[in-house]
Amino acid sequence: MVMSQYQWDVFISYAHEDRAYVNQLAHALKSAGLDVWYDQFIMEVGDSLTKKINEGLARSRFGVVVLSLPFFQKNWTQVELAALLNREEGDQKVILPIWRHGAYSYIKESAPIFLDRVALDSTYESIETTAKKIIKAVKPELSQNELDPKQLELKIQSKPFVLLPCHPSDNRVVALSRYPVTNKEYQKYLEELSVKDKEHIKVCIILQFRDYKPSISFEEPIGKHFDGKHWKGPFKALQDNRFDAPEQPVVNVSLFDAFAFTRWLNKKNSNANYNFIITTPELWDFASFGSQYPDQNPQSWINSMKSIHHQSTAPAIISNNGERMNSLGISDMFGNVWEWCLHENRRPAIIMAESSYAKAELRGGSYLDDLNKTSPFVNASSLTDHVSTRHTDLGFRVAVVIQTNALDKKLLEYMWSFEFSVENIVGFDW
């Protein structure tokens, strides 16, 4: 068969039990520019399964075969495998095998011929890595045209956000603000609040934190400052030249203040595709470590950043030169200011049960801390004033839940290439 007769670059052969994995892989390959024969892309109501599969097997240059125990237990997957094997003549490579969980033991005992092939192993390689290796084998020229990670950047209401590398769930993705909320942003919020806005936000806070008496302030942040030995106040950070720069993170804000800010953003936002929330601990951990289960070793976060602002006397202004950004391009995840995180971000009507401060945590450490010694994980219940605490080392950043129809088509395809589902890392009922 001459090259021009091929319609697809790869045919994906798999068992139904592996569909969740294959679906992500297929989208990753397609988004990179491969023509993919995947039944969920090809099949339409009324199509002949046999005809379509035969066509795909004959007119695809390569066969990506996802080998698992269910794969070897089904007749039709064996037929697809045999058809692809029959196309291999001499040194012509057609089959690109992927081992799934438990496949190696079965192959060793029942199909040892595959032990001679270099295979990809889903146990040790992410979908993104697997896709890159397949692309390199099929169309190496596409390996030079990977989507720049900077394309995960978004601007919403003129504020920079970074999409978290997770595939969509329920037509939604999540982005985290590149920087903590600044004095400039917070002052704009205070200046633009109307009486109606304040009443609306008060109702939202009372419903959200119905088990706790929230202290709500719509005035200049006033809290406590650490003098080297004790926290003392009242302290007006915006009237102190160590803390008042427009591009410094706002401090002296409680969890309620942070929540009120997100309610204002949502009320101000006329685009129903965006919903602003306080960052959850799970989102913060994933954005910082790429995992919901972060390493507790201090060196794992010290070494993850080019620079960290800690062991100082005041917060640093937000950095635009990348020196305090992590691999995702998110700044100051460690150091500068502690950040409020809220476990519960569901609709107020269904917030019930345990105390609010048990649902809140702090993340990241601050300019005051030595992060070589201080853990960047603190439960709000350990604070003297719990979720009402307003200290000069305590700020926040926001996240935004985004409907996928607001994303560029190519970017959306790219989001499907990531291994984790956003539903599994958001930290609240999706």
Which value, in Å, is the radius of gyration of the alpha carbons in the chain? 26
Torsion over CA: 376, 379, 385, 389 (sign) = positive
Residues 186-218 as b or e (16 or more Cβ within 10 Å = b): bbebeeebeeebeebbbebbeebbeebebebbe
Helices (H), 296-364: 298-302, 356-359
Q: Enumerate the β-bridge partners of residue 156.
A: 159
> Catalytic site residues?
80
Contact 301, 182 (CB under 8 A): no
DSSP string, 143-158: GGGPPPGGGGEEEETT
Environment class of residue 44 by beta-carbon count within 10 Å: exposed (0-12), middle (13-18) or buried (19+)? exposed
**Structure token pair of residue 41:** 């892309």
Contact 428, 360 (CB under 8 A): no
Distance, CA of 275 to CA of 185 (rounded, Å): 18
**Structure token pair of residue 149:** 């990670």
Environment class of residue 43 by beta-carbon count within 10 Å: exposed (0-12), middle (13-18) or buried (19+)? middle
Ramachandran category for residue 354: left, alpha or beta (phi over 0 → left; psi -120 to 50 → alpha): beta
Residues near 335 by beta carbon (within 8 Å), at least 6 away in sequence: 305, 308, 309, 310, 324, 364, 365, 366, 367, 369, 371
Distance, CA of 74 to CA of 160 (rounded, Å): 49
Environment class of residue 105 by beta-carbon count within 10 Å: exposed (0-12), middle (13-18) or buried (19+)? exposed
Contact 134, 128 (CB under 8 A): no
Contact 180, 339 (CB under 8 A): yes
**Structure token pair of residue 99:** 């081992």
Q: Give the distance from CA 120 to its chain's centroid.
A: 25
